[in-house]
Structure formats: structure tokens, C-alpha cells
Amino acid sequence: MNHLIVAPLLLPLLMGAIIVIGVNRSITLHRTLGLISSALITLITAVLLYQAINGPIQMYVLGDWNPPFGIIMVLDRLSAMMIFITSLLAFLCLLYAIKGTDEQGKNFHALFQFQLLGINGAFLTGDIFNLFVFFEVMLLSSYGLVLHGGGARRTKAGMHYVMLNLVGSSIFLVGVGVLYGLLGSLNMADMAVRLAHAPAENAALLQAGGLILFGVFALKAALLPLYFWLPNAYGFTSAPVAALFAVMTKVGVYVILRVYTLIFGDHAGVAANVLAPWLLPIALVTLVAGSIGVVASRDLRRTIAYMVVVSVGTLLAVIGTFTADAIAAAIVYLPHTTFMTAAMFLIADMLRQQRLDSGSELTPDRPVGQERVLGLLFLGAAVAIAGLPPLSGFTAKLMMLMGVQSHAAAPWIWSLILLGGLVGLIALGRAGSVIFWKTVPLDDTGLEAFSKKPHANIPRFGSACLVPVLMLLAISPLLVLFGGPLSDFGYAVAAQVSQPVHYIEAVLGSDAVAALLSAGGR
């Protein structure tokens, strides 16, 4: 059995524990351990991704108790991609974080490792209750990280985030209870098979179970009306954490894609496609609401936070068509939006530190200290996020537009995605021109209120801070340059996701698939 599959879980777990053991040692030790671990995980996940692209779906049977009885980890192309994105992002965020952020509070590095464990676990697990457990691991460490450093605004925003997600966890259990009480199994593949055979009189209850779970996932993914916690939580937390959280909402997206194609897909008999009527409209409304937030916000970091909402809306609207082409397009868009929003969060943080008077608020201030390099970084990120050529936003958006065009709602999706792009253009154009250009505000008498010099005693950022951001940004042109292979990969993922029989066969063998098909599923 390929032990590499559990490495992305055990490594951070062990390393986290070791860091805790050395709790009273120097921060340098913590940093080295954290970086080593993250770097290793990134390599491992890269290998796993390679295996997943070229190989079949792999399964890791924990405790050697075969499914459906034991817990399993499943590595298919989708999960492989997600863990790779997560690990790479985490590594780069950590590189940035060790420049001081991690000293603002205690236990940062341990929490960071456990965060990684939780996210990777949620992506890999093939068991619905184990998913719950990893959600909790992920959430609790995220609570710790969101509140890391403290401060009134952060604490308040963090509290809202925590409370809402606690309610969410309870709801999750209710959903699982209903489904287990009717299906008698927790292994997702097995649930799919059992669901296909479920009698008609259980239809309503099963659908209810599925939709209740969606409530929780929607909260994680930040869909209307459940995203209101996000702008403050992301806007006010420390930059590396916010950047890492660019992937957190994607966990919600991933789970929605997984659960409602695997368990509640076409083959699910009485509960087939239970989410289909809901997802698309909700996602589109989210997209609109997010765009409104983007133009409305007066603070760069909140603008980016709203862009996270927009990207989630976009992703799920595209996925909401539940066609292979659309899913492929979403897969191409996902890494782009994750890495670019992350980069933007970090850039916003550097700008904030060099604009002492107004921080990240969009009001005129003295010139940014490293106006040239930061301006370049901002321009790059802005172009990518606004979906302008030549960066990845453009190609990804194009692919999504083409991916959904066969769908009945295509006109809606098209116009909203494009309008969202326009709004992003307006907002980022305004932000950039205020921060980098409108640097000499006039007082009432029309005289220059400030000198045109940057603030004295602002921090200047060395390569140690700039390199991670540059690497994040460098991903965008790569995504365009290798757009061909990337889109092929997208189709390959979509092929697996939209044909869950492959997954089920890999987990339960061909008999299960036969049973599934005998139930009349596709």
C-alpha cells in the first residue's frame, strides 16, 4: 500500500506535536521545523499529484479494515490537486509569516501545521464522519490562527467566525445522523451504493439529510446568505493567515463538488441531483452580492475578501451546471483564484505597513516606500484577478464561459461573470490609482497636505518578504503558458468527478459498481 498518501497528514501532525514539545525553545527552531515540514509536504503532494495524473484512483485503508468498515483516504485527481495547491500555498505563506507575523502571538507554527493537517485531511478522506473530524481539526486551528495576534477588531471578527462555524458543526452532525440512520454506513462510496437502492418512501428524508449538509458546506464556502462573517474575518486577520485562507473557502467548494457528485449524483436514485436546483441560483446571487461588496468597500483588504466571495460564487455557479466541461473549467479557475487572492492579501499587507496614516484604507496617503516594486506586484496581481490578459484570470474566465455555454442558464452566467469582471476592474483601478498615484492629498486650502516623500521609519521589505509573493504571482503566467496541459488536466479531473463509478470501483470493487448499476443508476 502506498504510504505516501497519508504522509501529507502524518507529517504535519507529527511536526506540529514536536513543535509543541519544544514549546519553550527558540522561535528559530519552530520556524525551521515548520518550513522543513511544509517544504516536504509540498514535494510529497507534488509526487502524489503526478501519480494521480498518470495512474488510477488510489485508496489507503487505515488500520487495514477494508471499506466500508474502516476509514479510508482516497487519492483521485481532484483530491491530489487540492492537497498540492494547499501545501504549496501554505509553504509560501509560511515563508512570509516567518518575517515577524509568527511572533505576534503564541503557538503559531504548531497551529499552522495542524491547519495543514485539517485541510489535507478534509480533501483526502473518503468517510463522511472522518470528514467531520477533519473539519473540526481544520476549524479549531483556523480559530487559533484567525485570532493570532489579537486586537479588538480581530477578536470580534474572529468571534463571529467561531460561533457561526460551531453552529455549523452541530448541523453537520444532524445531517450525518439522518443519513447514517437510513443508510447505515459512513463510507461515501458505500453510501452512494446504498442510496441507489434506497426505497422511495425514504426519499424526502434522504434529500433533507443531503440538503442539511449543504447548509454547512455553504457556510464553509461562504455562499449568500452565509458569507457575512468572511469580509471581516479575512480582512482583519494577519496577512499570511488570510492568504492561507484563500484555500479554506475552496474546501467548501471541494466538498460540495465531491459529495453531490459522488453520493447524490445522477445514480442516487430517489435522491439524485438533490442539489442541482439550488446551487446555480444561490451561487449567482452570491456572485452579485460579492461584486457589490467589492465596489462598496473602502479598505483594500476587505475588497480582496469580497473578491474571495466573488470567486466562490463564480466557481460554484460554473460547477452548478454539473456538466463535465464546466467542471473542467472550474478546475482550471480554482488554482488561479486561490493563488492570486493569496498574493493580493500579502501585497495589501506590505502596502498597509508602508502607508502609516491610512494603512490599507483607500484614502490618499504619502507615497508607498517601495513604490516601484510594490506597484509592479500590485499591477500583476490586479491584472490577474480582474481577469485581464495576459495572465491566468483571462484564460480561466474564457474557459469557464465556454464551458457553460451549452447550459440553459448560460446567458445569466455569462453576463454576471463578465459584469463581475468589470466591477473588479473598476475597484482595482480605483484602488491602484489611489494608493500609488493619488499620493498627495490636498487640504481644504488646496495646498499639499503632505510632502511627497514616503513616511520616515516605515519598514522596507527585503527579498525575504518579496520572494514568496513573487513566487505566488509567477504561478499566474505559468498557468497561462501551460494552459494546454492544464486544461487537459481539468478535463481529466472532470472525467473522474462526473463519473463516480470509477471512484466507487476503486474503493469497493466492481461488485459494488454492478450493484449500483443494477439499481438503475448511471
Partner 1 sequence: MNLALIPLLPLLTAFIPSLFRNRNLNAITAAAIAGTSMLLLLSQAPAVFNGQIPLSSWSWIPAIDLNLSFRVSGFGFMFAFLILGIGLLIVLYARYYIAEQDPMGRFYTYLLLFMGSMLGIVLSENLILLMMFWELTSISSFLLIGFWNYRSDAREGARMALVITGGGGLAMIAGFILLGNIVGSFELTTILAAKETVHAHHLYPLTLILILLGAFTKSAQFPFQFWLPHAMAAPTPVSAYLHSATMVKAGVFLLALLFPVLSGSALWFFIVTPIGLITLMFAAYMAMFKDDLKGLLAYSTVSHLGLITLLLGLGSPLAAFTAVFHILNHATFKAGLFMLAGIIDHETGTRDMKRLSGLWQYMPITGTLTMLGCAAMAGVPLFNGFLSKEMFLAETLGPNLFGSLSWIVPLGATLAAIFAVAYSIRMVHDVFFKEPAANLPKKPHEPPHGMRLPAEILMALCVLVGLFPMTMAAPMVNVAAGSILGAATPDYHIAIWHGLNMALALSVIALIGGSVFYLQRLRLFDSHLWCSRYCDGKMTFEAIVSGLVHGGRKTTRLMENGSLQRYIALLIGAVVVLGASPFIGSDAPFIGPLALSGVDPVTLIMGLVLIFSTVATAIHHRNRIVAIIMLGTVGLIVSLAFIRFSAPDLALTQISVEVVTIILLMMALHLLPRTTPAESSRGRRWRDIILSVAAGGGCTALMMGVLTRPYDTIAGYFLENSKPGGGGTNVVNVILVDFRGFDTLGEITVLVIAGLAIYALLHNFELKAPQTDALGHPWTEDRFPMILAQITRPLMPLALLFAVYIFLRGHNEPGGGFIAGLIVASVLILQYIANGIVWTRPRLNVDNHIIMAWGLVIAVLTGVGSWIVGYPFLTSSFTYLQWPLVGKFEVASAIAFDLGVFLAVVGSVMLVLVKLGSINSVDAQRVSTSVQKEKKDKEGAH
Partner 2 sequence: MELLFSTCLGVMISCGVYLMLRGRTFPVILGLTLLGYAVNMFLFVSGRLQTNLPAVIAPDRLQYTDPLPQALVLTAIVIGFAMVAFVVVLALRASGELGSDHVDGRKENKS
* Binding interface with partner 2 (CB under 8 A): 129, 133, 136, 140, 143, 147, 150-152, 155-156, 158-160, 162-163, 166-167, 169-170, 173-174, 176-178, 180-181, 186
Cell of 353: 505597513
CA–CA dist 239, 384 (Å, integer): 19
For the bound state, the minimum distance from the C-beta of residue 166 to partner 2, rounded and expressed in Å, comes to 6
Of 47 and 419, the one with the shorter C-beta distance to partner 1 is 419
Which of 151, 228, 363, 458 lies at the binding interface for partner 1 (CB under 8 A)? 228
Of 228 and 412, the one with the shorter C-beta distance to partner 2 is 228
Q: Which residue has the cell 485503508?
A: 61
Q: Which of 259, 203, 179, 197 is nearest to 517 (CA)?
A: 197
Tell whether residue 119 is a contact of partner 1 (CB under 8 A).
Answer: no
Which of 99, 430, 455, 502 lies at the binding interface for partner 1 (CB under 8 A)? 430
Q: Measured between alpha carbons, how far is residue 437 from residues 186, 362, 371, 430 in Å?
A: 57, 12, 10, 10
Q: How many residues does the chain have?
A: 522
Burial tier of 111 (Cβ tally within 10 Å: 0-12, 13-18, 19+):
buried
Which of 358, 395, 476, 498 lies at the binding interface for partner 1 (CB under 8 A)? 395
Q: Write down the H helix ranges in 55-151.
A: 77-97, 108-124, 128-146
* 512 in Cβ contact with 189 (< 8 Å): yes
Q: Which stretch binds partner 1 (CB under 8 A): 180-188, 234-242, 316-324, 498-506?
A: 180-188
Q: What, of partner 2, partner 1, none, does residue 371 touch, CB below 5 to 8 Å by kind?
A: none
- Looking at residues 363 to 392 of the shown chain, list those that interact with partner 1 (rule: CB under 8 A): 383, 388-390
For the bound state, the minimum distance from the C-beta of residue 72 to partner 2, rounded and expressed in Å, comes to 16
Query: Strand pairing partners for 299?
Result: 361
Whether the CA torsion 210, 212, 213, 214 is positive or negative: it is: positive
For the bound state, the minimum distance from the C-beta of residue 84 to partner 1, rounded and expressed in Å, comes to 20
68 cis-preceded (ω within 30 degrees of 0): yes
For the bound state, the minimum distance from the C-beta of residue 251 to partner 2, rounded and expressed in Å, comes to 18
For the bound state, the minimum distance from the C-beta of residue 158 to partner 2, rounded and expressed in Å, comes to 7
Of 23 and 36, the one with the shorter C-beta distance to partner 2 is 23
Tell whether residue 495 is a contact of partner 1 (CB under 8 A).
Answer: no
- Looking at residues 261 to 300 of the shown chain, list those that interact with partner 1 (rule: CB under 8 A): 274, 278, 289, 292-297
Q: Which stretch binds partner 1 (CB under 8 A): 335-343, 351-359, 480-488, 508-516?
A: 480-488
CA–CA dist 140, 134 (Å, integer): 10
Q: Which stretch binds partner 1 (CB under 8 A): 93-101, 107-115, 310-318, 509-517?
A: 107-115
CA–CA dist 522, 512 (Å, integer): 13
CA–CA dist 52, 73 (Å, integer): 13
Tell whether residue 130 is a contact of partner 1 (CB under 8 A).
Answer: yes
Cell of 309: 466571495
- Looking at residues 10 to 69 of the shown chain, list those that interact with partner 1 (rule: CB under 8 A): 10, 13-14, 16-18, 20-21, 23-24, 60-65, 68-69
Tell whether residue 218 is a contact of partner 1 (CB under 8 A).
Answer: yes
Cell of 50: 503526478
> Residue 383's CB: how many other CB atoms inside 10 A?
21
Give residues with Cβ within 8 angstroms of 171, minimum separation 6: 212, 215, 216
Q: What, of partner 2, partner 1, none, does residue 169 touch, CB below 5 to 8 Å by kind?
A: partner 2
Tell whether residue 320 is a contact of partner 1 (CB under 8 A).
Answer: no
For the bound state, the minimum distance from the C-beta of residue 92 to partner 2, rounded and expressed in Å, comes to 28
Q: What, of partner 2, partner 1, none, does residue 152 touch, CB below 5 to 8 Å by kind?
A: partner 2
CA–CA dist 330, 319 (Å, integer): 7
CA–CA dist 388, 403 (Å, integer): 19
* 270 in Cβ contact with 200 (< 8 Å): yes
Of 14 and 514, the one with the shorter C-beta distance to partner 1 is 14
Of 180 and 450, the one with the shorter C-beta distance to partner 2 is 180
Tell whether residue 244 is a contact of partner 1 (CB under 8 A).
Answer: no
Tell whether residue 100 is a contact of partner 1 (CB under 8 A).
Answer: no
> Residue 203's CB: how many other CB atoms inside 10 A?
15
Which of 39, 151, 373, 436 lies at the binding interface for partner 1 (CB under 8 A)? 436
Q: Which of 181, 172, 243, 175 is nearest to 210 (CA)?
A: 175
Q: Which stretch binds partner 1 (CB under 8 A): 32-40, 240-248, 421-429, 494-502?
A: 421-429
Q: Which residue has the cell 490577474?
A: 384
* 466 in Cβ contact with 347 (< 8 Å): no
Tell whether residue 310 is a contact of partner 1 (CB under 8 A).
Answer: no
Q: What, of partner 1, partner 2, none, does residue 204 touch, CB below 5 to 8 Å by kind?
A: partner 1
Q: Which of 438, 431, 426, 154 is nearest to 300 (CA)?
A: 431
* 212 in Cβ contact with 171 (< 8 Å): yes
Q: Which of 196, 231, 238 is nearest to 97 (CA)?
A: 238
For the bound state, the minimum distance from the C-beta of residue 477 to partner 2, rounded and expressed in Å, comes to 42
Tell whether residue 153 is a contact of partner 1 (CB under 8 A).
Answer: no
Which of 140, 356, 471, 495 lies at the binding interface for partner 1 (CB under 8 A)? 140
Of 152 and 456, the one with the shorter C-beta distance to partner 2 is 152
Which of 81, 182, 243, 256 lies at the binding interface for partner 1 (CB under 8 A)? 182
The SS3 call for residue 151 is coil
Q: Which stretch binds partner 1 (CB under 8 A): 37-45, 228-236, 242-250, 342-350?
A: 228-236
Of 209 and 490, the one with the shorter C-beta distance to partner 2 is 209
